[in-house]
Amino acid sequence: MSKSEIDPLAKTLRSTARTLLSPALRSEHRPNSHSLARAEILLEQGYGLIVAFNHFSKRDPFQVLKEMFSNKTILGKQIVSPIALHQSNESLIKIAASHGIRMHDIVTQDTLDTGKNRGLEKGEGLIEFTQDALDCLASGGIVMIAPQEGRRVALGPPERRTINTLLAQAKRRKIENIAVMTLGLGFANSSDYSKRGFNSFRQYTVGIGHTFKMEELLAAAGGSGKVDDFLYQELAINVPSDYLSPKLKVRDDPRAGGQRASQEADSSKTF
């Protein structure tokens, strides 16, 4: 078993959890959703995978895991993920660990705003997460990250160069075999993204974007400094139009005939 693989018990727990939680994590795939096939191939070749997703609800990370665990290769991979300190607790960390997911508490601006930072400064925990994330990528595992760095009611321009910073650290470590995939989330029958709960049983839409090798991503983005801007555009293509902020200038997607392909969801594909 490679360093990126989880033990059989954790794999079984993941599969069972996906089955049990599926009724509360209902979703339909958008018509431009691409399969996880390329991500699977690259993972099998030893690549590490970064999964970048938008974030508006406590449910989002669980929804991402549900979608990814439909793939047998991904089901068996180690996963590293940050979590805002004010959303974390000891039980959640232990349950995640039993499922082969290493979660790292980070003090975010949202944590400070809630006053639940436990006397810690903004950014506390970020170094530990970054080091573990790089180790995970180097071994061919998966890193989940929401580049918005907190729950947001709309997808606006990048607040920070989150993915670019992680890739720059990987370059310093000479970790070359990295792929990046975007996963866009939204509500199927609502445009109200202000509710901050788990939003159980509400229908989600899921848009799985292209999987890029790092060199492909840099070429498509036009340089390392533009990676986050490019990935936000990839997310914009795969989220509902009502989740987009007017501040984010969205390009047309040539892969969709010059039209945003996320105007309608394919309700025939419900999972």
CATH of the domain at 71: 3.40.1130
pLDDT at 262 over 70: no
Averaged pLDDT score across all residues of the chain: 91
| Banded pLDDT at 265 (limits 50, 70, 90) | very low
| Banded pLDDT at 261 (limits 50, 70, 90) | very low
Provide the domain limits for residue 71: 8-256
| Tokens, residue 44 | 């099998």
Question: By mean pLDDT, which of 33-42, 67-76, 197-206 is the weakest?
Answer: 33-42
On whether residue 266 sits in a domain, the answer given is: no
pLDDT at 116 over 80: yes
- Confidence (pLDDT) at 149: 80
| Mean pLDDT computed over 1-6 | 85
Nearest-angstrom CA–CA distance, 164 and 229: 10
Nearest-angstrom CA–CA distance, 58 and 56: 7
User: How many domains does one find in the chain?
Assistant: 1
On whether residue 269 sits in a domain, the answer given is: no
In the 8-state DSSP scheme, what is residue 86? G
| Tokens, residue 41 | 């191939």
Contact between 141 and 174 under an 8 Å Cβ cutoff? The reply is no
On whether residue 218 sits in a domain, the answer given is: yes
On whether residue 181 sits in a domain, the answer given is: yes
pTM, two decimal places: 0.92
| Mean pLDDT computed over 227-254 | 91
- Confidence (pLDDT) at 197: 86
- Confidence (pLDDT) at 35: 79
On whether residue 29 sits in a domain, the answer given is: yes
pLDDT at 258 over 80: no
DSSP helix/strand/coil, 178: strand
| Tokens, residue 265 | 């969801």
- Confidence (pLDDT) at 271: 46
